[in-house]
Copies of this chain bind each other. A is one copy, B any other.
């Protein structure tokens, strides 16, 4: 990708990153006011800031003159001045002022400009060929902006490869052990897993009809004034989109009743590689109940903070420490059925990275979830997703 040539990262361990893809650069409110915000994304040094009209932009963070970081510079209106020798770069990446003798600006005086799309609470960045950046390829997280929903969220700096986190999320059976007594749910273990692949999307769906309310959900139902002793249909639909975006649609409803009569949430998971062994993991919980209740906000914030920071993160970081610089696949891990979804995601991603040399671009599946589920042998009465 010639756009990155002047800010070339160190040679990556393993198989590298999918370049022609949308990553999450930041939650939108990580970039505010006049701030110059530095982020390393797939080893690329990136500078994020907002123009005077509020538009967020992303350019390379290293001045092409002597590779001083622009985030140590200052704003000049919508431009950024390197504070080492004073070159000024516009939001399009080109040098717009060379304060030195003559002020000549050569074509090489530029930094990469990364396509950036603000959509709801997220800033999406395209690290590949700008000509291929198509906002229609951004995975659908419409739940973030749907009317009547409330989102809590966080960022977790994790010392592990992002695919180890993908594995974690695509195999929810880990909840019964790692999150025992909190997020664990008998339904996860007894339900059947159905993996579906379309384009650069993988679904790992579990559907558990006519069962007991799993323990963890009892207090949620009680809080909502619902009967925790009734029989329920319980669903967990996890969607993964390359390179590392996941949406879990999870909840339960009285047997045979639509989801609106039950309790459900969406959880979003956005994995942005810093490098081969470090990931910024942004997570969210989106709910449609008690949306004005700060106590419920706090409940979810504390629950997820605990589950991720105290339970998942140390385990995943321990995996990474054991692996060191080795890719897990090279160690021939023993497989269980629950690994199927994670394995498919790894295959899809490997194929996309390999295909990139031939100009292929990842494209999320477009079939709506209800149609996918209707095709499924697993679920006779699919619970329809909300978008």
Binding site for B on A (CB under 8 A): 6, 8, 10, 45, 62, 64-69, 72, 81-87, 98-102, 106, 108-109, 167, 171, 173-174, 176-178, 180, 189, 192-193, 314-315, 318-319, 322-326, 328, 331-339
Contacts and interface: CB of A to CB of B under 8 A. Distances in A.
B331 A67 contact: yes
Given A324-B10, A332-B6, A334-B108, A69 B174 contact: no
Contact of A336 (B65, B69, B178): B65
B64 A336 contact: no
12 contacts: A10-B325, A45-B322, A64-B333, A65-B336, A66-B319, A67-B322, A69-B322, A81-B177, A84-B174, A86-B177, A99-B176, A101-B338
Given A8-B331, A72-B318, A331-B8, A176 B66 contact: no
Contacts of A68: 315, 318-319, 322
B173 A334 contact: no
Given A66-B333, A328-B66, A333-B66, A189 B99 contact: yes
A177 B86 CA distance: 6
B337 A173 contact: no
A333 B174 CA distance: 49
A103 B82 CA distance: 61
Contacts of A72: 314-315, 318
